[in-house]
Homo-oligomer: A and B are copies of this chain.
Amino acid sequence: MKSLEDILEIREINRWVRRFERSPHQRNAPHASDAELVELGGNNGQLLAVTIDTVSEEITRGIYREPFTMGWVTVMACLSDLAAVGADPLGVVVSVSVEPARGPAFCDGIARGMQAACRRSGVWILGGDTNTSLSINLTGCAAGLLPRRNRLTRIGCKSGDLVFLSGPAGAGSAIGLARLAGLPPELFPESAYRPSARIREGRLLRNYASCCMDTSDGVLATLDQLMRLNAAGFVVETDPKSILRRDVARLADFARIPPWVMLAGHHGEFELLFTVPAVKAADFQSEASRMNWAPVPIGRVAAGQGIQLKVEGRLRTIDTGSIRNLFAKYGDSPDAYVRELLKCTL
């Protein structure tokens, strides 16, 4: 039985979780949803969803170089957590800590990115905090509401459910690879990495999906997490290349990396990965197409844990647990990271 504790990052988080008492009003277990869900009290039938995300390493490691991107991602990261639980956003608060030497143009860029992300999502920044710090830290916290009867978490899929992505993936791996490996920036310009939180889609999913999680840590880590939480397996029958955005697939070709590796990077985007029971699939897809949304079918939930992916046209089991732990060991060396990654097809 594959346990969450096999994953180094989860062990780290559990050290924190164990130190805190749990709220009797909370309606999600640790790791079990993208946003925290808590009773509002009274009889209004709604839950508050709240989530916090900090952007820091992506900046200091040079993955994001434009302040616009830094601000954009700070807002989208927390909104995406709301999307994954199907919540209607109430607003965002931000905390901006920048180095004293940063000028006003830099902060203007961050603010423009934040504002653009809000406008794209139909959300507003309500307020925040600013500080100077020896190293940049941008934090977004989003709050939203969802009907209690539509509680959507990472848990609930059953063998036979269909698996979808809200859209083509891989942009997070692509920009991570391009920057960390020092590829020419024009191969994957920063403007190509402007992932949008799937709020509208999440609102529909709360009526149909059996589980949902965003791909902020990459598609394979998302599948791995759902596998452990649901004690289920995932068979990704769609060819990895067809799951990728076209510009991402082109970058993989250029870098001579198999397409599936672009689903494995630790830095993701904000698509939703979700499951729909087969009996609901037709209704779901017709509702989706009515809102001009074409989810990407990628496979099905299987009995027994394990992640299967098409490698060179053939379904292979991928050791996603080892892949998730690679970053701690080889995160500083993209070459070694990819080399070790390629060993993880069993």
Contact = CB atoms under 8 A, between A and B. Distances in A.
Contact of A23 (B20, B23, B56, B126): B126
A334 to B, nearest CB: 18
Contact of A16 (B20, B90, B96): B96
A52 interface: yes
Given A42-B44, A90-B48, A141-B141, A19 B54 contact: no
A149 B325 CA distance: 52
A139 B26 contact: no
Interface stretch (A112-120, A154-162, A200-208, A274-282): A112-120
Contacts of A124: 20-23, 25-26
A40 B133 contact: no
A123 to B, nearest CB: 8
Interface string A207-228: 0000000000000000000000
Given A20-B115, A118-B20, A119-B21, A135 B135 contact: yes
Interface residues of A, number: 61
A283 interface: no
Contacts of A187: none
Interface string A68-92: 0000000000000000000000110
Interface stretch (A103-111, A163-171, A312-320): A103-111
A97 to B, nearest CB: 5
Interface string A1-37: 0000000000011011001111101100010000010
A38 interface: yes
A346 interface: no
A20 B114 contact: yes
A143 B87 CA distance: 16
Contacts of A41: 145
A137 B97 CA distance: 8
A134 to B, nearest CB: 4
28 contacts: A16-B111, A19-B111, A19-B114, A20-B111, A20-B125, A21-B115, A21-B119, A21-B124, A25-B91, A25-B124, A36-B91, A36-B93, A36-B126, A38-B91, A40-B145, A50-B90, A50-B93, A50-B126, A51-B127, A52-B95, A52-B128, A53-B95, A54-B95, A56-B137, A57-B132, A135-B137, A137-B137, A139-B141
Q: Which 3 pairs of residues, A with B, have the shortest CB-CB distance?
A: A23-B124, A134-B135, A19-B111
